[in-house]
Structure 1
Amino acid sequence: MIEQYVLDRIRRTFELYGFAPLETRAVEPLDQLLRKGETSKEVYLLSRLQEEGAPPAGESALGLHFDLTVPFARWVLENAGRLQFPFRRYQIQKVWRGERPQEGRYREFVQADIDVVDRDTLPAHYEAELPLVLGDALGGLPLGASEGLPILIQVNNRKVCEGFYRGVGLTDPVAALRAVDKLDKIGPDRVAALLAETAGASEAQAKACLALAEISAPDTSFVDAVRALGVTDPLLDEGLAELVAVMETAAEHTPGLCVADLRIARGLDYYTGTVYETQLRGYERFGSIASGGRYDDLASDGGSRFPGVGISIGVTRLLGLLFGAGALSISRSVPTCVVVALPAEERRAECNRIADVLRRRGIATEVSPSAAKFGRQIRYAERRGIPYVWFPGADGAGDEVKDIRSGDQVQATPEMALPA
């Protein structure tokens, strides 16, 4: 029930921002799943139980999707002629990833994604909009934070990083990005060694890259901190301007929602602009619970290009961490709010009519399964965690409703207010 409550909130928020629902197939060709920098170790391959010979390999192999972005890019290419651009979609669906299960990480889990794609060009203002959607979807949920926003979105722009790396003279900025993306996992010394090994960085260049990664600010002051490093490049200027727009938009909508964190790189090859990672306050040690970014070439068939920007919420990851910490509870264990007691089987039609009136008011109601003694019907409600029992009147007497949590029992009509 908690999961459904959270998913309903996420779904409503996505639709309030104009995103349309979409579901893509769970199975994709392996060459599609691996075409943008992922490793085959994460993909579950499929074969028929009674398949003759060895399972298929190469382009003919099939695998379960491990995220929703790559299948969505494929779907956009196949349906581009029928879509109105810019196209906004949300997708709430299971994915499968072959990794060692641990707290907050699962082999089967639910993701909730949003993406905006356009044909040929995508205005940068969409990169500033997506954190607002994420903030509204998760910001109002009781996700364990004692006060303030339960999440913090860390934002960077890969143009900032790539432009800076070019400015210090590195010829392989993508390799440098991959190295810096491992900073939280392996630490600065090993990242410096990796920069030298994979990106050809000198000691001074590696030191500059690490200095950039240390910059973090809750406002646009990160620009001055970058300028103070003395590196110039046109791509760096472009990335800083885009990151400023994201931070200013977020600050106006929800102060404190975003922080500019220049160590965020996102290791996947297809990201080209703004990138996002989201920390759940109090659970930062478990890493990001929502991430994404801008991609310009993920959906491309050689002739047409459909740039986009997206964010994915790891719903199972988010809830798994909170369930494990005992940080979530619910007021009742079933949807039912009211049980209409059944005085006699002959009065079931009357009790059904009472239940119908309550349901039309949006109150989850069921009629007692049998005309047992009222004490047993009350115990039935107690065992299922249903807070109210409705007693139909007899011989001209009015109806009554009992709050079995407090024991209070009052005169009732189907129009009365029932607290949750």
Structure 2
Amino acid sequence: MTTTARPTKVTPLSGFPEYLPEQRVVEQHFLDVIRRTFELHGFPSIETRSVEPVERLLGKGGDADKEIYGIHRLADDEGRDGAELGLHFDLTVPFARYVVEHAGRLNFPFRRHQIQKVWRGERPQEGRYREFTQCDIDVVDVGELAPHFEAEMPLVMAEIFAQLPMPQMVIQVNNRKIPEGFYRGLGIGAHDGSEIQQTLRIVDKLDKVGPDKVADLLVEAGRTPEQAQACLDLAAIRTQDTSFVERVRALGVEHPVLDEGLDALAAVIETGRASAPGAMVADLKIARGLDYYTGTVYETQLVGFESWGSFCSGGRYDELASDGRNTYPGVGISIGLSRLLGLLLGKGMVGASRKSPSAVLVAVTDEASRGESVAVATGLRARGIPCEVAPVAAKFGKQIRFAERRGIPYVWFPGVDAGGDQVKDIRSGDQTDAAATSWECPYEDLRPQVVRLGE
């Protein structure tokens, strides 16, 4: 008896995005702009390994234990239940390890950019993935880090956002010393220092659950109703200039750490106003949940799509990287590229002018003359013109339709019966004599163009 194997149904794997060619064109354009701008600002590229010891990943705050993918061999002879290595869930933790490990061969202050995959075991949803690409920059130094670097980070990002075909991005900036000092001035943390981190994490939920729920959570955590309201009053302050300082002072809370935070944030906002007007705001509800942040913190939202949360975030850290003798304080900021593209592509807000990188399709008259078509393509490529040769020597009409479906703007017809070559712009129908050694492809047609849609 003969049985027929059932075809295997292929289904998407949730949380692991894959792009179609035209979407990949958009992603590569964004990556090119990001990398080029990072390097314009003197950030060299590094790449770190994908795994770190689980115990190191677990020690970096937040809910990392719920996010880490453990790594082990399928044929594990020792039968261990727990993994010793885990995939990194951000790029800051492996970078801190990289600095300590290679400190003797680095020049400080050390700058780096890193564009790499990250894995996070959270529930997949629109714009949130289990595998995604992050684009980071950081500066670290030995012992002390100059505060002006905290203003530099968002300025680099503002320059990138200004070059990309997307709606306006606003970088929200705070300094962790402001809420920490404010809470201490309220009496929070007087007997238990962990109350500060607990309060920060609760306030960090404001955009997700709203002020009423945050107030309830604060009271449940042991804060008085008066303290909870004061925390909300602080978090409600948002300004485009340094007027946030007077508004905080008006709340009547005093503490030296609060003074340090206000001064530091004012310096960052002033620098932003001078160099990138409108790109940065002081937003005192920004806290960032990870424990290693100690100073300036950043989050970035797309105007009109605030409910999607932050696409670009980071901050100052002082003790994340240490070898026991030296501490390497740093500051960094990261673009969640996959998250950003999930919105822009998913909502049809950005697109590519064509699917194929080819600017020219070289037609084939018949299979016997395919060599002539290949020679034309070779000549065009030698001059930097992307092209491909038609796969089949079909009627020219079919070859033109082949180009149309891929968005290829030009079709090249090799000479027939000793006639000269001709090239046709299939968009306009214009057809002219041409030679592979001299024909110039218009610059705007050389590569697929990425454009903002719906405008």
TM-score, normalised by the number of residues in structure 2:
0.85
How far apart are the structure 1 equivalents of 2:260 and 2:439?
60
For the pair 1:341 / 2:363, whether they are aligned, the reply is yes
Amino acid at match of 2:179: C
**Partner of residue 187, structure 2:** 169
Q: 1:234 to 1:139 in 2, by over 3 A?
A: same
Q: 1:119 to 1:56 in 2, by over 3 A?
A: farther
How far apart are the structure 2 equivalents of 1:361 and 1:156?
51
Deviation at 1:139, TM superposition (A): 2.2
Deviation at 1:377, TM superposition (A): 2.7
**Partner of residue 253, structure 1:** 275
Deviation at 1:412, TM superposition (A): 3.2
Which one is further off, 388-397 or 61-70?
A: 388-397
**Partner of residue 379, structure 1:** 401
Structure 2 unmatched ranges of 5 or more: 1-24, 446-455
2:326 to 295, 304, 310: 304
1:189 to 178, 192, 212: 212
SS at match of 2:170: strand
**Partner of residue 23, structure 1:** 47
How far apart are the structure 2 equivalents of 1:17 and 1:293?
18
Amino acid at match of 1:100: R
**Partner of residue 61, structure 2:** 37
Deviation at 1:175, TM superposition (A): 2.4
Q: 1:360 to 1:244 in 2, by over 3 A?
A: farther
How far apart are the structure 2 equivalents of 1:5 and 1:152?
21
How far apart are the structure 2 equivalents of 1:289 and 1:166?
31
SS at match of 2:381: helix
Amino acid at match of 2:84: A
Which one is further off, 209-218 or 357-366?
A: 357-366
How far apart are the structure 2 equivalents of 1:275 and 1:395?
70
**Partner of residue 429, structure 2:** 407
Superposed CA deviations along residues 323-356 of structure 1, whole A, max 9, x for unmatched, are 2212222100111111223345666565445434
For the pair 1:151 / 2:169, whether they are aligned, the reply is yes
**Partner of residue 86, structure 1:** 109
Superposed CA deviations along residues 355-392 of structure 1, whole A, max 9, x for unmatched, are 34543554322233454443333233223321111223
1:54 to 79, 82, 104: 79
How far apart are the structure 2 equivalents of 1:308 and 1:357?
50
Deviation at 1:201, TM superposition (A): 2.9
SS at match of 1:131: helix
**1:8-407 alignment, distance < 5 Å:** 8-39=32-63, 40-57=65-82, 61-143=84-166, 145=167, 150-171=168-189, 172=193, 173-198=196-221, 200-343=222-365, 351-352=373-374, 354-393=376-415, 397-407=419-429
How far apart are the structure 1 equivalents of 2:228 and 2:373?
75
Residue-pair matches, total: 412
How far apart are the structure 1 equivalents of 2:321 and 2:124?
31
Amino acid at match of 1:154: Q
Which one is further off, 215-224 or 357-366?
A: 357-366
How far apart are the structure 1 equivalents of 2:155 and 2:380?
36
Q: Tell me if structure 1 keeps the 8 A contact 2:33–2:163.
A: no
Superposed CA deviations along residues 399-419 of structure 1, whole A, max 9, x for unmatched, are 322111222212335343424
How far apart are the structure 1 equivalents of 2:254 and 2:310?
31
Superposed CA deviations along residues 263-302 of structure 1, whole A, max 9, x for unmatched, are 0000110000110001012221111111110100111122
Q: Tell me if structure 1 keeps the 8 A contact 2:385–2:441.
A: no
Amino acid at match of 1:164: F
Which one is further off, 250-259 or 370-379?
A: 370-379
SS at match of 1:306: coil
Q: Tell me if structure 1 keeps the 8 A contact 2:170–2:281.
A: yes
SS at match of 1:20: coil
Q: 1:338 to 1:176 in 2, by over 3 A?
A: same
SS at match of 1:170: coil
Amino acid at match of 2:52: E
How far apart are the structure 2 equivalents of 1:286 and 1:356?
47
SS at match of 1:243: helix
Which one is further off, 369-378 or 280-289?
A: 369-378
Deviation at 1:191, TM superposition (A): 2.3
How far apart are the structure 2 equivalents of 1:350 and 1:247?
62
Amino acid at match of 1:325: K
Superposed CA deviations along residues 186-205 of structure 1, whole A, max 9, x for unmatched, are 3323323433443x433322
TM-score, normalised by the number of residues in structure 1:
0.92
RMSD after superposition: 2.1
How far apart are the structure 2 equivalents of 1:154 and 1:334?
38
Deviation at 1:260, TM superposition (A): 0.7
Q: 1:52 to 1:417 in 2, by over 3 A?
A: closer
Deviation at 1:311, TM superposition (A): 1.0
Counting aligned pairs with the same residue, the percent is 62
Deviation at 1:236, TM superposition (A): 1.5
Deviation at 1:241, TM superposition (A): 1.6
